[in-house]
Amino acid sequence: MAEHERDAVSPDADVDERALEGALRPKRLTDFVGQDRVCEQLSLVLRSAQRRSRVPDHILMSGGPGLGKTTLAMIIAAELGAPLRITSGPAIERSGDLAAILSTLQEGEVLFLDEIHRMARPAEEMLYVAMEDFRVDVVVGKGPGATAVPLDIAPFTLVGATTRAGLLPAPLRDRFGFVGHMDFYRSADLELILRRSASLLEVELGDDAAAEIAGRSRGTPRIANRLLRRVRDYAEVRSDGRLTLETARSALTLYEVDAQGLDRLDRAVLHALLRRFRGGPVGLSTLAVSVGEEPETVEVVAEPFLVRSGYIARTPRGRIATPDAWAHMGITPPKDAAFGAADLFTPDDDPAQPDPAADAHPGTGPSANAGVQSKP
Ligand SMILES: Nc1ncnc2c1ncn2[C@@H]1O[C@H](COP(=O)(O)OP(=O)(O)OP(=O)(O)O)[C@@H](O)[C@H]1O
Ligand SMILES: [Mg+2]
């Protein structure tokens, strides 16, 4: 994918940022803000295992980047008072890599396997057996004379994390006794996270500034913490160091993060969709060309949030802007804008007849709306 500069609101973190994040990670379940249901369920799983003096079931955390999967994995080990071993799918290239880890685990140890969907296939099969029977089959020798020697391993708890739960093979998913789905955070929770981070960073954060930053953080603690650092930098250099509503707004305007957390690329996409294509429908590649990006960049980097925020809808005929998109960008929709065709949003109880002309020329004027009933 073409490298796109968007540090401010990217949900991903680079190496430097991960180092900074360590300091802001809550260490215990009681400090972990939000995700109440997951936390409560998790707490039960851990407590009941402790009561029975058994290792807890294997745990899978699924959810988008920056929502707290790694943080929770560390908390699980801390709550159990167990040692933690950390590895990741891409680090396990051969089953031997996994065997080396599994065979040296201590009893009760927590093994955190990040990006578990990216593990090599043969290792995956070894993991099935290890998870279920606490055993690895070590292959001794090569070729026809090779034999599998079963080796018992210490009971452990696997904590897997994935941003793509759908990519996990069913046999692997089924071996997790508990799956926690991490969701985007409510603004009130992000405010709490921001206050906690501000006190760790020893900066003064006003309530209204916290609300302002939270509102622009796309439901993601990682983005909230990052915007907090940007506002702090701004406040230190341009004013007296206190994070007020005023400094938060000025700083975030400077970094081109708007009131809903949209950045320059998001706005460029919306702008093109509204102005050049009258709200669509328009095909992804046409839209991408008009903002000077690769289709993949638009699809992977900008679109998910625009869709989740209800600004863009994906339809069989292409992308269309919703009424909220026009409102957010402050542009008055033309009378024939696609969303006027409300049927585009209704479930397909009345499957619209595919219109070949519209398919061939997505978004090229009124013909793209052919076949769609418009309101009188
Ligand atoms: N519930 C929370 N309360 C406080 N801080 C949080 C919470 N969730 C995440 N954070 C903070 O957000 C940052 C990112 O969290 P974390 O690294 O756990 O995300 P992740 O889901 O593992 O992301 P990735 O998929 O990129 O690995 C960390 O600095 C962490 O401190
Ligand atoms: Mg992580």
| pTM metric for this prediction | 0.84
Mind listing the pLDDT tens digit for each residue in 244-300?
A: 999 999 999 999 999 999 999 999 999 999 999 999 899 999 999 999 999 998 998
CA 73 to ligand 1: nearest atom: 18
> Could you identify the residue written with the tokens 């007296």?
240
Distance CA 120, CA 299 (A): 27
Residues annotated as catalytic (active site), given as ranges: 69-70, 114, 163, 222
Distances (CA, A) of 50 to 110, 224, 252: 14, 34, 46
Q: What is the pLDDT of residue 366?
A: 39
Residue 62 Cβ contacting ligand 1 at under 6 Å: no
Least confident of 19-23, 77-81, 192-196, 199-203: 19-23
| Residues ≥6 apart with Cβ < 8 Å to 344 | 313, 315, 320, 338, 372
Residue 225 Cβ contacting ligand 1 at under 6 Å: yes
Q: 180 CA distance to ligand 1 centroid (A)?
A: 14
Q: Which domains are delineated in the chain?
A: 35-181 (3.40.50.300), 187-254 (1.10.8.60), 264-364 (1.10.10.10)
| Section 179-194 average pLDDT | 96
Give the residue numbers of the binding site for ATP.
24-25, 66, 69-71, 132-134, 175, 185, 222
CA 221 to ligand 1: nearest atom: 12
Residue 193 Cβ contacting ligand 1 at under 6 Å: yes
Q: Could you tell which of 25, 30, 39 is best to mutate to test the pocket of ligand 1, judged by most ligand atoms within 8 Å of the CB?
A: 25
Distance CA 119, CA 121 (A): 6
